[in-house]
Amino acid sequence: MTLVPTCTLTFLLALSGYLGADVCTYDVLPSASLPEYEKSYSDFIHKPFQKSRHFVKQSKLASKFNSSVCGIMDVSLSGSILGKDVKLAPIKSFPWHVTLFTGRLDLCSGVLILNLWVLTIARCSPPAQRIYMGIWGVNSFNNYEEDIIISKRFEHEDYNPLTKENDIALVRLQKPVTFDAYSRPICFPDVNLDLSASSECYISSFGAVDTNKSRLSEFLRYSKVKIIPNEICSYAWKTRGIVIDRRSICTDFDAGNLCFGDSGIPLVCKMKGRYYLAVISNGYEEGCTLTYYPTTFTRVFEYSDWIYWVIEKNPNMLPAILRADVCTYDVLPSASLYEYEKNYSNYIHKPFQKSRHFVKQSKLASKFNSSVCGIMDVSLSSSILGKDVKIAPIKSFPWHVNLKLFSCSGVLILNYWVLTIARCSLHAQRIYMGIWGVNSLNSFEKDITINKRFQHEDYNPLTKENDIALIRLQKPVKFDAYSRSICFPDINIDFNAATNCYISSFGTIDSNINRSSDFLRYSKVNIIPNEICSYAWKTRGIVIDRRSICTDFGAGNLCFGDSGIPLVCKVKGRYYLAGISNGYEEGCTLTYYPTTFTRVFEYSDWIYWVIEKNPN
């Protein structure tokens, strides 16, 4: 027998006309020649690469799904007819159906896939606080119903609330669901299961049954549906500009359409005596679907790599391993195979950047966080200029860097290196350190020529994505009380728990005056959860994802001249870099909206790589 890493066949597969696999797995194969290896493709291989590239041992994870009780329903589906093909679900039917309490007027659903895991859609996961299992009627609770608090939520990192792309999420429960006739998991599909061949497919829901009534059903309902070929579905929807691809699955329009309250409901199909999860609905916040169009769902199997990866990285609430866009390797002491399995050093992230880099992180980490990083020799108690805006005392924020006539800023992370945003790096010729007032230079201020600039290779000036850059100085900054580096964050720092976070800037404090401040100013800010930030910004079409970090809107907003300013937080006596602002070229941010920053840790792999490739 030979252990063959499927991911090692990538280039061979590409030459043979095969596309990339969403997960790298390994198979135990009989001894075979290379041509025989070429014929062995254990995973569904497709394109495009999702944003999360994960190495997952599917053989291990598959054993977690599809238990002996999954997909079993103890009753026949013969409830009373409520409307066109819509029936009242009998008790004990659809035991995998989960109701999520969001605290809002609408209702969200999900589906139990493991005793600790519920699959739903991204829109439903942030507000959800608890789940209910075994519910038949919403106005009464019986002894077979379960009420469980949600422990953690995992939205797909590339969820787009505008296009509904990647509208999928996982919810981890605080305690496991006890399996019985009323509460059981659904069976999860594998690559060999053709659900379109099933003649028994159903949806279950508490959603409204009438487009004119935004009132939820008092009882669980179900409807039998027919899966139709994507080609037919695509033809029907193309007149409305809707694209149907392999991530979609469609049902006919004879079985009652989706309505308000149907968000996250599962579509299940019976195969060989068990029910399997085919898709999950991204739902409708108001009204119903169009009567003469097929109903579209998200095909769950297309996200199996992401689902597997999240569950593998979060077993029984062990500390999660966060992402790194680089492949790394660790030098480990001799250990058994079991100990090697505990070490997850690879996480591959899509879209694959133009440069994929192998970096010796242990070596690079030693370059950051010197003995003087993040130390400020003064207390922050200067005169107040405006709402929570103060003049910064001399020796405060010694890591603050000025670029390009003070309309751009940056932050010193190493004696040779400054982090800023891509737009500011283009025209900057020199940097200034230790400046307190812009109209005078003192003996403690430093003026250093820029040697080289490194913009992120995927910077998009229109969308501001990957708006980050590094600047290498011609000579090193000499550390003293006026000029010091900021401490760089690591995986263990939780900035949401920090109570002392600040921004520093020479930017204008008045939206009507596009002139820089004469003095360095600072403001204390509060970091708020991304869920709250996302909720505030979604009305303006702004997507807040894991690469963002947000502050409240009570501490003075960002204005002209605030591009590249750092957001720092004090943790255990030192200041760490939490975020960097992509700034505003004119005016100020909106008063009643949270302020957004780029979360620096999310780009640590790129920062490490640039510095490693350009040593002193």
Per-residue pLDDT for 329 more than 80? Answer: no
Per-residue pLDDT for 509 more than 50? Answer: yes
Identify the pLDDT of residue 555. Answer: 47
What CA–CA distance (Å, rounded) separates 369 from 375? 11
Share of the chain above pLDDT 90, in %: 15
Q: Are 25 and 59 in contact (CB under 8 A)?
A: yes
User: Looking at 494-545, which runs of residues are DSSP E strands?
Assistant: 501-505, 521-525, 527-528
Q: Which of the pair, 123 or 80, is modelled with greater confidence?
A: 123
pLDDT band of residue 614 (cuts 50, 70, 90) is confident
The 3 state secondary structure assigned to 211-260 is CCCCCCCCECEEEEECEECHHHHHHHHHHHCCCCCCCEEEECCCCCCCEE
Q: Considering only CA atoms, give the Rg of the chain.
A: 27
Identify the pLDDT of residue 523. Answer: 86
Per-residue pLDDT for 358 more than 60? Answer: no
Least trusted range by pLDDT, from 311-315, 387-391, 556-560: 556-560
What CA–CA distance (Å, rounded) separates 138 from 218? 5
Rounded mean pLDDT of 46-59?
Answer: 43
Whether omega before 315 lies within 30 degrees of 0, making that bond cis, reads: no
Identify the pLDDT of residue 261. Answer: 53
Identify the pLDDT of residue 25. Answer: 37
pLDDT band of residue 316 (cuts 50, 70, 90) is low
Q: Is 223 in a helix, a strand, or coil?
A: strand
In the block, residue with structure tokens 């979609």? 248
Long-range pairs of 77-80 with CB within 8 A, sequence gap ≥ 24: 77/202, 77/222, 77/224, 79/222
Per-residue pLDDT for 594 more than 50? Answer: yes
| DSSP H helix total and E strand total for the chain | 10, 35
352 alpha-carbon distance from chain centroid: 16
Q: Are 172 and 98 in contact (CB under 8 A)?
A: no
Which tokens is 563 given?
A: 């591009």
Q: Could you give the count of Cα atoms lying within 13 Å of 437 in the half-sphere of its Cβ?
A: 5
- pLDDT tens-digit map of 426-447: 767 788 887 766 655 565 678 8
State the amino acid at position 7 in one-letter form: C
Q: Which of the pair, 530 or 464, is modelled with greater confidence?
A: 530
Identify the pLDDT of residue 444. Answer: 67
Identify the pLDDT of residue 165. Answer: 77
Which tokens is 18 given?
A: 């095969």
Identify the pLDDT of residue 144. Answer: 65
Which tokens is 72 given?
A: 């079993």
Q: Set out the domains of the chain in order of their start, with CATH numbers.
A: 1-49 (no CATH), 81-305 (2.40.10.10), 361-613 (2.40.10.10)
173 sits in the region (left: phi over 0; alpha: psi -120 to 50; else beta) called beta
String of b and e for 263-276 (b: at least 16 CB within 10 Å)? bbbbbbbbbeebbb
Torsion of CA 418, 419, 422, 428, to 10 degrees: -20
The contacts of residue 241 (CB under 8 Å, 6+ apart) are none
Identify the pLDDT of residue 439. Answer: 56
Which candidate, 589, 585, 578, 526, places its Cα nearest to that of 547?
578
Element at 179 (helix H, strand E)? none
Torsion of CA 320, 323, 327, 330, to 10 degrees: -30
What CA–CA distance (Å, rounded) separates 146 from 347? 36
Which candidate, 404, 394, 388, 373, places its Cα nearest to that of 520?
394
Identify the pLDDT of residue 295. Answer: 75
Sign of the torsion formed by the C-alpha atoms of 74, 80, 82 and 84: positive
Identify the pLDDT of residue 371. Answer: 85
Per-residue pLDDT for 339 more than 50? Answer: no
Angle at 593 between CA 590 and CA 597, to 5 degrees: 90
Q: Which of the pair, 418 or 24, is modelled with greater confidence?
A: 418
Average pLDDT over the chain reads: 71
Least trusted range by pLDDT, from 28-37, 188-197, 565-574, 593-602: 28-37
Which tokens is 403 given?
A: 């670029």
In the block, residue with structure tokens 């379960």? 146
Q: Which of the pair, 44 or 174, is modelled with greater confidence?
A: 174
What CA–CA distance (Å, rounded) separates 33 from 15? 18
- Residue 277: beta bridge partners? 268
Per-residue pLDDT for 450 more than 70? Answer: yes
Rounded mean pLDDT of 169-174?
Answer: 92
Per-residue pLDDT for 341 more than 60? Answer: no
What CA–CA distance (Å, rounded) separates 559 from 581? 11
Q: Which of the pair, 370 or 90, is modelled with greater confidence?
A: 90
Q: Which of the pair, 161 or 495, is modelled with greater confidence?
A: 495
Q: Are 282 and 300 in contact (CB under 8 A)?
A: no
- pLDDT tens-digit map of 140-171: 545 567 788 888 888 888 887 776 778 889 99
Q: Is 47 in a helix, a strand, or coil?
A: coil
User: Looking at 513-608, which runs of residues are DSSP E strands?
Assistant: 521-525, 527-528, 548-551, 566-571, 574-580, 595-599
Q: Which of the pair, 238 or 395, is modelled with greater confidence?
A: 395
Q: Are 401 and 505 in contact (CB under 8 A)?
A: no
Least trusted range by pLDDT, from 105-109, 179-183, 224-228, 245-249: 105-109
